[in-house]
Amino acid sequence: MQMIHNSTIIEEGAKIGKNVTIGPFCRIGSDVTIDEGTTIASHVVIEGKTTLGKNNRIFSHTVLGSIPQDLKFQGEEVELIFGDNNTIREFCFITPGTQHGGWVTRVGNNNLIMGYVHLGHDVIVGDHCIISNATNVGGHVEFGSYVVVGATSAIHQFVKIGDHAMLGGASALTQDLPPYCIAEGNRAAVRGLNLVGLRRHIDKNEIDPIKKAYKELFESNQALKESAITLLEKDPIEKVKKLCHFVINTQRGIPYKRKDFNEKREGLNEKE
């Protein structure tokens, strides 16, 4: 049974599934598909070729599928696709892809996107991510799964963030953030492992090898990519391999500082 308020405008051609609820003063475009069980609050605009999976919750004044904020966009047929069980809070703005970035912006399953978040064109979000209030995400950014982003952060276009990583609040991330790591600051740098997140979602027997790998990568005297190649030669567990491959394949670099540099700075600060 659909429950659609009589003040809402649904353009001809839109596909609305079973048990969908749409509140007052919404506008649903002709190329929109909304699967069963989804709830849409008041004053929501969904347009373009936008697909919402099952049991999503869209809160008021959110805009989904408006044309990309890209000057090269010339009206091509591009898409915005959501999986299932996502929560999109108030005043979010999420745009579709572009022909230069794969044509699709995609949000996976079971994500929480808090109020006032902007996801730019061609962004890919995995599953079980939390993107906190007023975060601005540039185009072509890729999130893994179980990523946490603190409030009022900014993420530069083309950045990649690995699985189980965390970005601290009010950070500005301009380089790639490896899996399992925490970064924070302006500009953000890797500070350690996201141990709280790992303990919640990863078997404890896999955490110690990740800790050891982190030390070899970020606290050795080798260059970072050389450390990753050396570590791979030891045939580590799959999660460590994922970390190494991420480091080796980064295009924007990894923001980090060697431990000895930090120790020197701390010593200097103590003398000061």
Catalytic machinery residues: 121-122, 139
Residue 62 vs residues 8, 66, 93: alpha-carbon distances, Å: 14, 11, 6
* Cα separation, 162 vs 246, whole angstroms: 8
Q: Which residues pair with 115 in a beta bridge?
A: none
Under a CB-based contact definition with an 8 Å cutoff, are residues 87 and 69 in contact? no
For residue 205 the two structure tokens come to 């027997």
Under a CB-based contact definition with an 8 Å cutoff, are residues 135 and 92 in contact? no
